[in-house]
């Protein structure tokens, strides 16, 4: 399984963009990059995923480097409710045939 | 919105007692995952099922843990006998066959004294 490296913690001002990096240099060709977040020990919440192309949805944008060794999750206008632990995790195939492997994640704190 | 439900939400028990945690996956989802979260180890995958059949339980201590899916609407995780080191939050997640995302339940917080 691919190993991921994320900063332990990051801060962001409310209303500004939060850019969360993740290194996954050993990711396999068939592994997607998934991002989840966990708020106050609730169950993890899916944010976005991608394989090669950049992706955007109503929550965030995902930028994947051309060599696929790293990615960045972008929350365009962070709010206080975005304070959470953010996990980057690879998953083979992108469907139910793969499994998620969570690291320690990045603690994002959004300040007023 | 359809949600994964877990019961009980909190459980306090004494060492040596049997503990059963239940999960109701989202209707129609055919893959169910069990995770455990502790401060020291983070989120760990214990086991997962597809179409009620166990696919991978390599993360689960076999001597005291067991996971089953008696039917498509119920998954159970049992610990017998429980030990203090089993204290953790246990999450269940489900995923549909054509879906690319897992949906997590709220978790069961287990404390073994």
Chain B CB contacts of A45 under 8 Å are 104
Query: Does residue B48 belong to the interface with chain A, where contact is any CB pair within 8 Å?
Result: yes
CA distance B66 to B89: 16
Q: Where are the beta strands (DSSP E) in B1-113?
A: 5-7, 10-13, 19-24, 31-38, 42-50, 53-56, 65-71, 74-79, 88-95, 103-104, 108-112
Q: Which percentage of chain B shows pLDDT scores above 90?
A: 86
Closest CB to A43: pick one of B98, B99, B104: B104
pLDDT at A97: 63
pLDDT tens-digit series, residues B65-100: 999 999 999 999 999 999 999 999 999 999 988 888
Q: Which residues of chain A have pLDDT under 70?
A: 1-2, 93-97
Query: Does residue A32 belong to the interface with chain B, where contact is any CB pair within 8 Å?
Result: yes
Q: Which of A96, A103, A105 to mutate to test the interface with B (most CBs of B within 10 A)?
A: A96
Pairing of strands A61-64, A55-56: antiparallel
């Amino acid at each position: 399984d691919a190993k991921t490296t994320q900063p332990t913690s990051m801060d962001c001002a409310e209303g500004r963009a939060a850019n969360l990096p993740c290194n996954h240099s050993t990711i396999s060709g068939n592994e997607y990059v998934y991002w989840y977040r966990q708020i106050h020990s609730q169950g993890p919440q899916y944010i976005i995923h991608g394989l090669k192309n950049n992706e955007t949805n109503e929550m965030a944008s995902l930028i994947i480097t051309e060599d696929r060794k790293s990615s960045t999750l972008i929350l365009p206008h962070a709010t206080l409710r975005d304070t959470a632990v953010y996990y980057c995790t690879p998953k083979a195939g992108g469907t139910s045939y793969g499994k998620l492997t969570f690291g320690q994640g990045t603690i994002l704190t959004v300040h007023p | 919105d359809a949600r994964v439900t877990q019961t009980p939400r909190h459980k306090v028990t004494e060492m040596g007692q049997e503990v059963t945690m239940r999960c109701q996956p989202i209707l129609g989802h055919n893959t169910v995952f069990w995770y455990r979260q502790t401060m020291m180890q983070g989120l760990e995958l214990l086991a997962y099922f597809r179409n009620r059949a166990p696919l991978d339980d390599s993360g689960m201590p076999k001597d005291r843990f067991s996971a089953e899916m008696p039917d498509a609407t119920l998954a159970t995780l049992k610990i017998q006998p429980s030990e203090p080191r089993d204290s953790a939050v246990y999450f269940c997640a489900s995923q549909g066959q054509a879906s690319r995302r897992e949906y997590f339940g709220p978790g069961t917080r287990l404390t073994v004294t």
